[in-house]
């Protein structure tokens, strides 16, 4: 806790206070009035007993009007405290929700700027746990622990000053009792805090495992690994249970211990006060009664703070995980070449405000001039090396070129580096050495968002979002008209099955398109890439999940989609790459063969052996 509570707490308070200054001022003032009313009522008890009740006991004809007036004043004080207590709790509820909304907004916004590497190296369920469990721990701390802490601190200071003014001797007795309480609280809270921190980490790990099992439930059942999955869950669940048990075991005994010590303190003060009064110490019955009430008002805030201590510790542990995600380095982009609409004025290419169907790279230079290069889809690699981790190279000296309109295919065993090459084209990762040029421009100079806008990608793992079929296809280009969406579906040969759906293009898809077959989901993904109408297409095992009959339909649509575009194809089915202009055979990150289908067959090398079945792709 000592490692993060200071900086984490200060940063968290920034989210709470900034933008809520007026509300927070109302909270502080309400707490001051509420605490003052509570102390005032306790002090007034002395005057009530000594000045009103005791004289009435000795009077032959008691007049209760003064007592009624005094009681009315006490009622007004208590009502003021109650109203202010309601006001600051109601205001803090608003502050907490506004603060959490701000945190979630910034958290999600920051996540969109993180590089793909972060998601490749972190469990998705653990990331989800930050949004749910860790953020939720902040809600209780902001809405309850913080106002109670401020209220308790104000009450402690006010009561202490009042007790010293009434009787310094009884004040020393109270302080001695409180010192004993604090020693016990420190021992108990110190034991529980470490386990609350471990509890948050264990909860994130458990959520990550559950997400994996939910996504892979079919695989679990196919291989009859239900028992193995349960055993893995039990290990993580037992760890969470142990941490939660130890944390809450100490937390749950804290309040009973404080309450019993408070009762003991009550007895000690009564005995000490009576002894001082009998010894002529100038203490009246009213003073003792008021002091008993003040001692309760003094120890109760300490009990409340100790009760909230574990919530604060758990919230700070959650806040630390939230801020760690916020502090993850965002994707760096030093590009300055942008993609713009263009048109020809005579022989010159100029920028256009409207969509023309012609795109150009806008390249500003140091001398202030700007040149426009038409986007054609010419992609070239020059001696490219790459490694996901230092000292573990994946690609070695990769050189290749794809002229506009050419189709390049990559074949090779799993792990040979096929997908890695496409990840470098769209700059999901940056190369270690060498150069990649796009239309003659170093891709490091192109803004990543513009670079990726010029590429259409169909992945092996299809992701569909909650929404209609039409909305999922339009995801490729948000300003596409309904006619363009349907034309893209026709190009991908998806139109026929879409129109047979219950609501056609307006059919809702949920749970990643669970109500569709794998082939249908892939067809929608292909249509999504088609509506973007990019000059360069990357097809990563795009037809791997489609049956042979559907593949023949898709292949005709793909041929139409690929016409006139630069296309990079990754495929295990060699039949899908035979018509490629060039085929690259990769092995352990190196291009060992290149040529078209006929040339590679004639070489009778690795591709020939793969094609004839002597070798098989793994």
Whether residue 589 is predicted with pLDDT greater than 60 in this model: the reply is yes
Q: How many Å apart are CA 376 and CA 391, to the nearest integer? A: 36
Q: Last residue of some domain: 482, 513, 533?
A: 533
Same domain assignment for residues 118 and 92: yes
**What is the Cβ-side half-sphere exposure of residue 232, based on CA atoms within 13 angstroms?**
14
pLDDT at 203: 80
Q: Name the pLDDT band for 364 (thresholds 50, 70, 90).
A: very high
Express each pLDDT in 143-200 by its tens digit: 777 787 777 788 788 878 877 877 778 888 888 887 877 777 777 666 666 677 778 7
pLDDT at 466: 82
| Mean pLDDT lowest among 42-56, 288-302, 317-331, 338-352 | 42-56
Which residue in 365, 364, 359 sits closest to 340, CA to CA? Answer: 359
**219 is a domain residue:** yes
Same domain assignment for residues 157 and 169: yes
Express each pLDDT in 441-461 by its tens digit: 999 999 998 998 888 888 777
User: H-type helices in 435-567, by residue range?
Assistant: 448-453, 469-474, 482-491, 495-499, 518-532, 548-562
DSSP string, 397-436: EEEEEE-TT-EEEEEESTTSSHHHHHHHHTTSS--SEEEE
**331 is a domain residue:** no
Mean pLDDT (whole number) for 282-297 = 74
Q: Which is it for the CA torsion 37, 38, 42, 45, positive or negative?
A: positive
Same domain assignment for residues 27 and 156: yes
Same domain assignment for residues 206 and 350: no
**267 is a domain residue:** yes
Q: Last residue of some domain: 295, 326, 357?
A: 326
Q: Name the pLDDT band for 438 (thresholds 50, 70, 90).
A: very high
| Cα three-residue angle 461-462-465, rounded to 5 degrees | 140
Q: How many Å apart are CA 325 and CA 454, to the nearest integer? A: 30
Q: Which domain CATH number covers 407?
A: 3.40.50.300
- CB 175: neighbour CB atoms within 10 A? 13
| Mean pLDDT lowest among 15-29, 480-494, 561-575 | 561-575
Whether residue 430 is predicted with pLDDT greater than 70 in this model: the reply is yes
Mean pLDDT (whole number) for 81-99 = 85
- CB 23: neighbour CB atoms within 10 A? 17
Residue 477, SS3 per DSSP? coil
Q: Is the pTM of this model over 0.85?
A: no
Mean pLDDT (whole number) for 18-43 = 81
Same domain assignment for residues 240 and 133: yes
**332 is a domain residue:** no
Written as six digits, the tokens of 543 are 């037809």
The number of distinct structural domains making up the chain is 4
**225 is a domain residue:** yes
Mean pLDDT (whole number) for 242-255 = 74
Phi then psi dihedrals of residue 304, to 5 deg? -65, -40
| Mean pLDDT lowest among 19-23, 272-276, 415-419 | 272-276
Same domain assignment for residues 554 and 493: no
pLDDT at 547: 62
pLDDT at 191: 67
Same domain assignment for residues 562 and 525: no
pLDDT at 4: 47
| Mean pLDDT lowest among 48-57, 229-238, 366-375, 381-390 | 48-57
Mean pLDDT (whole number) for 562-586 = 81
pLDDT at 1: 39
Whether residue 201 is predicted with pLDDT greater than 50 in this model: the reply is yes
Whether residue 23 is predicted with pLDDT greater than 80 in this model: the reply is yes
Same domain assignment for residues 106 and 80: yes
Express each pLDDT in 381-401 by its tens digit: 999 999 888 878 889 999 998
Same domain assignment for residues 261 and 391: no
pLDDT at 189: 65
Same domain assignment for residues 541 and 429: yes
HEC sequence for 251-312: HHHHHHHHHHHHHHHHHHHHHHHHHHHHCCCCCCHHHHHHHHHHHHHHHHHHHHHHHHHHHH
Whether residue 311 is predicted with pLDDT greater than 80 in this model: the reply is no
Element spanning 23, H or E: helix 21-47
Written as six digits, the tokens of 188 are 């108990």
| Cα three-residue angle 186-187-193, rounded to 5 degrees | 80
The rounded mean pLDDT for the chain is: 81
Q: Name the pLDDT band for 558 (thresholds 50, 70, 90).
A: low
**398 is a domain residue:** yes
**Selected residue with higher pLDDT from 373 and 550:** 373
Q: Name the pLDDT band for 554 (thresholds 50, 70, 90).
A: low
Q: How many Å apart are CA 17 and CA 270, to the nearest integer? A: 43
Which residue in 376, 359, 379 sits closest to 425, CA to CA? Answer: 379
Please name the residues in contact with 430: beta carbons below 8 A apart, sequence gap of 6 or more: 424, 444
Instruction: Write down the residue that tokens 């100029």 correspond to.
Output: 350
Q: How many Å apart are CA 473 and CA 478, to the nearest integer? A: 9
pLDDT at 58: 63
Domain enclosing residue 572, as ranges = 377-454+534-618
Which residue in 232, 198, 202 sits closest to 216, CA to CA? Answer: 232
Written as six digits, the tokens of 83 are 């109203």
**333 is a domain residue:** no
Q: Name the pLDDT band for 265 (thresholds 50, 70, 90).
A: confident
Whether residue 259 is predicted with pLDDT greater than 80 in this model: the reply is no
Q: Name the pLDDT band for 618 (thresholds 50, 70, 90).
A: very low
Express each pLDDT in 270-281 by its tens digit: 787 778 777 776
pLDDT at 557: 62
Phi then psi dihedrals of residue 465, to 5 deg? -105, 160
Q: Last residue of some domain: 501, 533, 565?
A: 533
- Distances, alpha carbon 196 to alpha carbons 100, 248, 313, 612, in Å: 21, 8, 7, 61
Q: Which is it for the CA torsion 67, 71, 73, 74, positive or negative?
A: positive
Mean pLDDT (whole number) for 346-361 = 86
Whether residue 235 is predicted with pLDDT greater than 70 in this model: the reply is yes
Q: Treating both helix axes as pointing N-terminal to C-terminal, what angle do 548-562 and 482-491 enclose, rounded to 10 degrees?
A: 120
Same domain assignment for residues 597 and 559: yes
Residue 441, Cβ density class (10 Å: 0-12 exposed, 13-18 middle, ≥19 buried): middle
| Mean pLDDT lowest among 218-222, 330-334, 500-504 | 218-222
Same domain assignment for residues 149 and 235: yes
pLDDT at 383: 93
pLDDT at 126: 79
- CB 98: neighbour CB atoms within 10 A? 16
Burial 51-76 (b: 16+ CB within 10 A, else e): ebbeeeeeeeeeeeeebeebeeeeee
Whether residue 212 is predicted with pLDDT greater than 80 in this model: the reply is no
**361 is a domain residue:** yes
Q: How many Å apart are CA 183 and CA 254, to the nearest integer? A: 12
């Amino acid at each position: 806790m000592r490692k993060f509570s200071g900086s984490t707490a200060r940063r968290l308070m920034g989210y709470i206070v900034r933008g809520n200054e007026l509300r927070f001022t109302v909270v502080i003032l309400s707490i001051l009035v509420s605490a003052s009313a509570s102390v005032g009522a306790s002090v007034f008890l002395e005057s009530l007993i000594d000045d009103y009740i005791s004289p009435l006991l000795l009077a032959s004809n008691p007049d209760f009007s003064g007592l009624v007036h005094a009681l009315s004043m006490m009622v007004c004080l208590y009502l003021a405290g109650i109203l202010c207590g309601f006001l600051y709790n109601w205001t803090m509820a608003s502050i907490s929700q506004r603060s959490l909304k701000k945190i979630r907004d910034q958290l999600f916004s920051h996540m969109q700027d993180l590089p793909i590497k972060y998601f490749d190296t972190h469990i998705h369920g653990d990331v989800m746990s930050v949004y749910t469990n860790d953020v939720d721990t902040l809600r209780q701390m902001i809405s309850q622990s913080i106002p109670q802490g401020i209220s308790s601190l104000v009450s402690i200071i006010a009561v202490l000053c009042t007790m010293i003014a009434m009787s310094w001797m009884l004040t020393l007795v109270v302080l001695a009792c409180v010192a004993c309480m604090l020693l016990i609280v420190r021992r108990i809270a110190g034991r529980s805090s470490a386990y609350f921190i471990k509890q948050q980490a264990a909860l994130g790990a458990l959520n990550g495992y559950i997400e994996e099992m939910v996504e892979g439930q079919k695989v679990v059942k196919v291989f009859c690994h239900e028992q193995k999955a349960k055993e893995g869950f039990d290990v993580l669940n037992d760890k969470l249970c142990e941490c939660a048990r130890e944390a809450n075991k100490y937390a749950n005994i804290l309040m009973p211990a404080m309450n019993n010590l408070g009762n003991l303190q009550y007895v000690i003060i009564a005995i000490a006060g009576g002894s001082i009064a009998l010894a002529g110490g100038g203490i009246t019955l009213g003073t003792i009664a008021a002091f008993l009430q003040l001692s309760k008002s003094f120890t109760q805030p300490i009990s409340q703070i100790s009760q909230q201590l574990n919530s604060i510790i758990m919230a700070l542990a959650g806040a630390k995980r939230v801020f760690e995600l916020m502090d993850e380095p965002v994707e760096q982009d030093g590009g300055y070449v942008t993609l713009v609409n263009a048109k020809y004025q005579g022989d010159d290419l100029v920028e256009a405000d409207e969509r023309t169907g012609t795109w150009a790279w806008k390249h500003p230079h140091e001398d202030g001039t700007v040149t426009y290069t038409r986007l054609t889809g010419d992609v070239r690699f020059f001696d490219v090396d790459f490694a996901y981790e230092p000292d573990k190279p994946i690609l070695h000296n990769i050189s290749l070129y794809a002229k506009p309109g050419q189709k390049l295919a990559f074949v090779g065993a799993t792990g040979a580096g096929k997908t890695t090459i496409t990840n470098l084209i769209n700059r999901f990762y940056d190369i270690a050495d060498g150069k990649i040029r796009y239309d003659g421009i170093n891709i490091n100079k192109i803004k990543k968002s513009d670079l990726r806008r010029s590429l259409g990608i169909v992945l092996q793992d299809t992701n569909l979002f909650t929404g209609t079929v039409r909305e999922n296809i339009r995801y490729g280009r948000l300003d596409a008209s309904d006619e363009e969406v349907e034309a893209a579906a026709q190009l991908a040969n998806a139109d026929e099955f879409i129109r047979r759906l219950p609501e056609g293009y307006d059919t809702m898809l949920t749970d990643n398109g669970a109500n569709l077959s794998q082939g249908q989901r892939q067809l929608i993904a292909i249509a999504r890439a088609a509506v973007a109408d990019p000059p360069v297409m990357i097809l990563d095992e795009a037809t791997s999940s489609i049956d042979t009959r559907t593949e023949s339909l898709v292949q005709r649509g793909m041929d139409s989609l690929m016409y006139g575009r630069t296309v990079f194809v990754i495929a295990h089915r060699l039949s899908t790459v035979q018509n490629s202009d060039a085929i690259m055979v990769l092995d352990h990150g190196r291009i060992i063969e290149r040529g078209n289908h006929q040339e590679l067959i004639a070489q009778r090398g690795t591709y020939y052996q793969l094609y004839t079945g002597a070798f098989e792709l793994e």
